[in-house]
Structure 1
Amino acid sequence: MSRVDLNLLTALDVLLTERSITGAARRLNLSVSAMSRTLTRLRTATGDRLLLQAGRTLVLTPYAEQLSQRLPSLTREAQALLSPADHVFDAATLEQRFTLRAGEGFIDLLGVPLMNRIQRAAPGVKLCFTPKPDWDAQPLREGMIDLEIGIVGTKAPEIRTRLLFRDRYVGVCRLGHPLMGGTGFSIEHWTSCGHVATSRVKDAVSTVDAALEALGLRRKVVMVVPSYTSAMQLARYSDLLSTIPHSCLGNPFTPDHAAANGLQYFELPVLTPAFNVSAIWHPRLDQDPGHRWLRAEVLEMCQAAYPRDPKPEDSLRSNR
């Protein structure tokens, strides 16, 4: 469309409405000579004279009469297309499917409260959770995933993130575990127990193992599973210890989740840093009204579930 100048649409609309070069020039804040040159360009572009002298006035050609019926709506549509979007968003009328990638822990503890929020506000919205085998950003880039929830593990420079809440690691074991029988336990006693670790990546070094390695220690890992929910179930039915995010213990929507599953928690005898749980998405969805609404709903729910950051890990809480 290199030969098309959309500004001519507005000029043509005004000329055919005013039927006067002087009147059109006044409305468009142009000189009469500039308006006259614009009419010449319009005649060349359309192949029609458009306006003809009839005494002291100008009259429309038959083709110009046809154009005058179409031009107002066409001009408004062109202006709307090339202006910033002005959406009136109503969640109640939204009919959309969102694909989310999140860990099993998020789905188990926050899936129901999120569904309740969504259904109350937007009954036409469907949430589809997909497995989270890694932190690859390609599904976000390709539109296979609309929103990811978890730790930011990608280095993709364009990816957008928003902090949902802060989390930290704690230990869990079954009720009545020998480790919890006294007034406390040593780090050596804890490391000598059997542990079930959580990792989706083969041979990955966890935060806990890195902290132990810095102290010249290692824990006795006898099993590795891909999810915290699996690790919690194994700890519940055995003497294995597990390390899970504090958020997996429960929240106001699902209180005492760990205790209800036959588990008790304890502070780790090794210092580990807190970490961020974030919403992650591709920038092409930044201004999408439905996606912006979904992000706000997820954020508000997470802030209600975990209203405060975990305690600062600036000193080692001993279980001795």
Structure 2
Amino acid sequence: MPDLNLLITLDVLLAEGSVARAAKRLRLSPSAMSRALARLRATTGDPLLVRAGRGLVPTPRALALREQVSQLVQGAQAVLRPAQALEMAHVVRTFTLRTSEEFVEGFGSALLARLAEDAPGVRLRFVSKTDKDTAQLREGRVDLDIGVVDPTASPEVLTQALFRDRLIGVVRSGHPLSQGEISAARFAEGRHLYVSRRGQDRGQIDDVLEAQGLKRQIGSIVASFSSAIALARNTDLIASVPERYTPDRRDLFCFALPVALPAFTVAMLWHPRLDADLAHRWLRGCLREVCGR
């Protein structure tokens, strides 16, 4: 296999027409450059540069190769040069985001508006997040995964926080809890909605209530917070949902939960192979901007 480094040497030799000047430009000794020229002659089967008086002149083969070699070297340098800028207005690409329905409802419109303005050729494909497995990121089936930070996430996955959130209580307007102080006991007495994508029927709230000698009754289990909010709006059931996911509070009464629960962080996750990708980096910036409003 030919040594492709010889292309750079040949390009400089043909441009300079001098072994000494080419050696200086490539920071080589004159003897090293002479050896390189000898290898080029052996590889191409042509003298390439021949002496004429005190200088060197190119052979017809060298003249024929000059432009082609220059283009090859410039192309290789462009491939290896770090990307500096990208005109998003000209990018045509589809990104797959794995997230919850609530995130799409809460932030999707603002994100799509930003794309329509600055990157009309970029399309977002939203797929449902049913677990915390990062295999789809690793396999390239998903470009960004959005959800609550998981301390056990694979260390090969990169993570950046988008916002902090907390659970709040939600009931219909006119619900008994909309009047008077809401104690842990009053809260536990009601019938509740529980959100679980895996069909579980208890969580952190139940653990905290149990520590106080209280127990709540789960009236229904749903797979999404948006379903819980819809049911709470039209029944006497109590929903506990993320505060940032409840922008539409018509016909709802929202309240701070009477139990101590830690806040949580919603973040985006991506595979390191996309970290330096300029279009992907731009999309991450859009998400940070939209979620930070």
Q: Is structure 2 residue 104 aligned with structure 1 residue 107?
A: yes
Aligned to 1:137: 134
Name the TM-score, length of structure 2 as normaliser. Answer: 0.91
Aligned to 2:164: 166
Aligned to 2:143: 146
Match of 1:290 among 275, 279, 284: 279
Contact residue 93 and residue 121 of structure 2 kept, 8 A: yes
Q: Is structure 2 residue 229 aligned with structure 1 residue 243?
A: no
- Written as runs of structure 1 = structure 2, the 5 A alignment for 1:41-60 is 41-54=39-52, 56-60=54-58
Contact residue 201 and residue 218 of structure 2 kept, 8 A: no
CA distance in 2: counterparts of 1:132 and 1:30, whole angstroms: 57
Match of 1:67 among 60, 65, 68: 65
CA offset at residue 227 of structure 1? 0.3
Match of 1:266 among 238, 251, 255: 255
Contact residue 164 and residue 279 of structure 1 kept, 8 A: yes
Distance change >3 Å, CA 58–CA 278, structure 1 → 2 = same
Q: Which amino acid aligns with 2:240?
A: T
Distance change >3 Å, CA 177–CA 17, structure 1 → 2 = closer
- Higher alpha-carbon deviation: 207-216 or 108-117: 207-216
Q: Which amino acid aligns with 1:199?
A: S
Match of 1:186 among 179, 183, 187: 183
Q: Count residues in correspondence.
A: 292
Distance change >3 Å, CA 189–CA 14, structure 1 → 2 = closer
Q: Is structure 2 residue 228 aligned with structure 1 residue 231?
A: yes
Distance change >3 Å, CA 27–CA 145, structure 1 → 2 = closer
Distance change >3 Å, CA 60–CA 179, structure 1 → 2 = closer
CA distance in 1: counterparts of 2:259 and 2:72, whole angstroms: 69
CA offset at residue 282 of structure 1? 1.4
Distance change >3 Å, CA 224–CA 25, structure 1 → 2 = same
In structure 1, stretches of 5+ residues that fail to align are 251-256, 305-320
Distance change >3 Å, CA 233–CA 29, structure 1 → 2 = closer
Q: Which amino acid aligns with 2:268?
A: A
Does the residue aligned with 1:203 lie in a helix, a strand or coil? coil
Distance change >3 Å, CA 267–CA 31, structure 1 → 2 = closer
Aligned to 2:211: 214
Match of 1:14 among 12, 15, 40: 12
Write the deviation string for residues 202-250 of structure 1: whole angstroms up to 9, x where unpaired: 3374221232233343211121111001011111121111100111232
Contact residue 167 and residue 241 of structure 2 kept, 8 A: yes
Write the deviation string for residues 151-190 of structure 1: whole angstroms up to 9, x where unpaired: 1235211111111111001111111112334x22432232
CA offset at residue 24 of structure 1? 2.5
Q: Which amino acid aligns with 1:157?
A: P
- Higher alpha-carbon deviation: 265-274 or 12-21: 12-21
Does the residue aligned with 2:154 lie in a helix, a strand or coil? coil
Does the residue aligned with 1:197 lie in a helix, a strand or coil? strand
Does the residue aligned with 1:191 lie in a helix, a strand or coil? helix
Name the TM-score, length of structure 1 as normaliser. Answer: 0.84
- Higher alpha-carbon deviation: 292-301 or 17-26: 17-26
Does the residue aligned with 1:284 lie in a helix, a strand or coil? helix
Contact residue 199 and residue 221 of structure 2 kept, 8 A: no
Aligned to 1:5: 3
Distance change >3 Å, CA 235–CA 29, structure 1 → 2 = closer
Write the deviation string for residues 63-118 of structure 1: whole angstroms up to 9, x where unpaired: 323222311111111222223233x3222222221211221212222222222122
Q: Which amino acid aligns with 1:237?
A: N
CA distance in 1: counterparts of 2:2 and 2:220, whole angstroms: 68
CA offset at residue 56 of structure 1? 4.4
In structure 2, stretches of 5+ residues that fail to align are none
Contact residue 190 and residue 238 of structure 2 kept, 8 A: yes
Identity of aligned residues (%): 47
CA offset at residue 300 of structure 1? 0.8
